Structure 1
């Protein structure tokens, strides 16, 4: 299979659609991103990264970071994680408070904002948000084999300054006793991990272990157990795109996670990890052109988990 030719065909297919969708302007630091940007990268078993377009330009990965914090929390606390966060699709917006009230402060899954705040709470030791942030940065640099990965502090500040809804979610969960650390401590780490800046190439390489039962196929490092890897992919499949998750599974048929920075991370089990970036979003917060590109890629490669 010639992935470079396939990526060229995908780029040609999406060209007429570039710029479509709405950039996430409710976070001021993201409002000025060029909506015509498009990049795509596929990292394969041998570590080769096939890429096209703006695949080496860093962007704010936003909620895609939740895949990595979720993985770290499973490694740290195991199945006790499920005592404080569910694993069902939300069917609601990523920052909805309605279900939280109905379900007494237990978020539906680790990939919505409330769930990721609980996950972040699990990762903080001794109230040290800075150490948690540095730990996550170190993990991503190791996974991607790239020490240049960093946090965009302008985006992090912008997240914090416009983070009233996330603060409301956190205080609401704290009122039910579902947070151990101080709300501002947790959100300090949470806003920074949402502000991680990676390229499609870095992101696909960092997530490659999820395509191979939790083991990095290049370094041979066991990152998560096969069982936990399958669980991470399962939650990504059912919950990775908020109230757009069903349509994404229907169209693309692979586990994935979107972010309002316009990135989408997708796992093709046994094949590789795919990252795409195009800033214009659909109404559910998933990249409009990114989803089209992934649909075209799956059609060309046959990588859907549904055959």
Structure 2
């Protein structure tokens, strides 16, 4: 087995020199300002080691990666009743498609596309004011990262609110089918804020460790969620975590992952590692171009596919 530290250093050097970096998510103006040359990676290993390369300590907007954490919280609140309001199937469509939502009468295909994540956010709003729900989500992520410097980038949240007309349409459409219990603007306010959580690769890798360790925090040994629930979240990450590029990511990389249009990807190798990679340029499916490439190369070099014998 090659030395992981050497592999990471070589990959970071290779990625720094690549010209084909994809396009930043300019439809969210604040994200359009990010330098596409940035690249970072962090690997939190089961033995407690943290290996990093590149811009691993630079905070970035995690965007849809936050949907892992809101799904975890929502399942803790309502359990399997959640699946009456959101499905568990890959979408095969862009993450903000309204056509599929119309065809399926307001029931989102899965919790990782925008409509599904808005329903999950609606669940977290129950009994709370939006500010309280936002605080609960942020505290949970800070708890997982063991770092209270994780923050919400208010400029990114404001930028999303100012331009998120498609998400407004999705929320109103689901409300029309009684699949949103709160006013659309309240659910969307919380949604835009949790997508604007800013973290570094190091912090994000630490936040994903509970999924790599059967639902337990490796630092304390305490259970965050049950092993069964951790497996189910990982299954959804594998099949739905990269929008309509999920099948290709599973084929090429072979580990559960969740991407965000900020250019981050959280990948989980069960029992072995939690990996966070960030490169702001996106491919045609809205996933980090270099992030996807480097995870494919890393999984191949370390034989980390969950399909390995």
Length-normalised TM-score, structure 2: 0.97
Distance 2:130 2:47 in 1: 35
1:251-271 Cα deviation digits (max 9, x unpaired): 000000110000011000010
- Match of 2:200? 199
1:178-210 Cα deviation digits (max 9, x unpaired): 011111110110000000000000000011000
Per the alignment, in what secondary structure is the counterpart of residue 86 of structure 1? coil
Q: Once superposed, what is the RMSD of the aligned Cα atoms?
A: 1.0
- Match of 1:44? 45
Q: Which runs of 5+ in 1 are unaligned?
A: none
- Match of 1:101? 102
Asked whether the 8 Å contact 2:23–2:281 carries over to 1, the reply is yes
- Match of 1:260? 261
**Counterpart check, 1:120 vs 2:121:** yes
Residue 19 of structure 1: how far off its partner (Å) = 5.7
Per the alignment, in what secondary structure is the counterpart of residue 30 of structure 2? helix
Q: Which runs of 5+ in 2 are unaligned?
A: none
Residue 11 of structure 1: how far off its partner (Å) = 1.6
Equivalence map 1:176-191=2 (5 Å): 176-191=177-192
Asked whether the 8 Å contact 1:141–1:149 carries over to 2, the reply is yes
Asked whether the 8 Å contact 1:151–1:195 carries over to 2, the reply is yes
- Match of 2:3? 2
Residue 174 of structure 1: how far off its partner (Å) = 0.4
Distance 1:217 1:45 in 2: 8
- Match of 1:29? 30
- Is the alpha carbon distance of 1:9 and 1:266 closer, same or farther for their aligned partners in structure 2, counting shifts above 3 Å? same
1:15-46 Cα deviation digits (max 9, x unpaired): 33256100000000111100010000001123
1:276-303 Cα deviation digits (max 9, x unpaired): 0000000100111111110111011111
Residue 219 of structure 1: how far off its partner (Å) = 1.5
Misfit runs of 4+, over 6 Å = none
Asked whether the 8 Å contact 2:238–2:246 carries over to 1, the reply is yes
- Match of 2:153? 152
Per the alignment, in what secondary structure is the counterpart of residue 43 of structure 2? strand
- Match of 2:306? 305
- Match of 1:295? 296
How many residues end up aligned between the 2 structures? 307
Distance 1:125 1:171 in 2: 18
Distance 1:193 1:212 in 2: 24
Distance 2:253 2:99 in 1: 29
Equivalence map 1:158-307=2 (5 Å): 158-307=159-308
- Match of 1:11? 12
1:220-268 Cα deviation digits (max 9, x unpaired): 1200101100000000000000010010001000000110000011000
